[in-house]
Amino acid sequence: MRSWFARLSIAGAFVVGLTGPNAAVGLNVFETELGQLARTRLVEVARSPVVVEAVREQNRATGAYPDARIAELDEKWAAEAAAEQKGGEAGPLIAETMGRPVSLYLRQIQERSQGLFTEIILMDARGLNVGISQTTSDYWQGDEDKWQKTFLAGPNSLHIGALEEDLSTRTVQSQVSLPVVDPQTKEVIGALTFGVDVEEL
């Protein structure tokens, strides 16, 4: 297992840039391993019936949301997340999302990964949270690469984010995102993001 010093060296010295519609700025030396992980374990989760059906169901509810409604929900979520971070209980919007069967499924996957996955976020066709393994700071992910470079990029897209250092937990992570595809229509209906601790690869 790599030392903390080695991880910092990797994060600081071996970041490279790629081009193309699915390339992140500052991709890392773990791109190959993360790509292989995405095309095996992660895609299985994205194709699972519980994930696909949860996205389908939410799309039926949120598809007609006006932008103002999305902004309102995102603001409400942010306030609840901030209160939770200060030691309060989860607010109603976060609690409802965390209580869904798909969120339980994602939490179980994270727990069973033995530290490989640091978070899992499932998003609908509007970029809103469908299921989460733990509380996120935002409810709407539609302005971020995790959604824009997967949902908008097509059924075969893959986005590997830059390495990010978390000094509080002494981990170096990368977000790996892929689309959720409806097996019946072959259309992209959502997106799925995994936070991956690269030392655990």
* Domains assigned to the chain: 4-200 (3.30.450.20)
Rounded distance, CA 131 to CA 121, Å? 6
Average pLDDT rounded to a whole number, residues 118-124 = 97
Whole-number mean pLDDT of the chain?
Answer: 88
In the block, tokens 């229509």 appear at: 185
Lowest mean pLDDT across 10-14, 47-51, 66-70, 118-122? 10-14
Asked if residue 23 has pLDDT above 50, the reply is no
Q: Measuring CA to CA, which residue among 180, 184, 172 is closest to residue 30?
A: 172
Confidence bin at 168 (pLDDT 50/70/90): low
| pLDDT confidence of residue 55 | 98
Q: Measuring CA to CA, which residue among 180, 178, 165 is closest to residue 52?
A: 180
- Residue 19 DSSP symbol: -
pTM of the model: 0.87
Confidence bin at 169 (pLDDT 50/70/90): low
**Among residues of the chain, what percentage have pLDDT more than 90?**
78
Amino acid letter for position 22: N
What does the CA dihedral 145, 113, 166, 22 come to, rounded to 10 degrees? -20
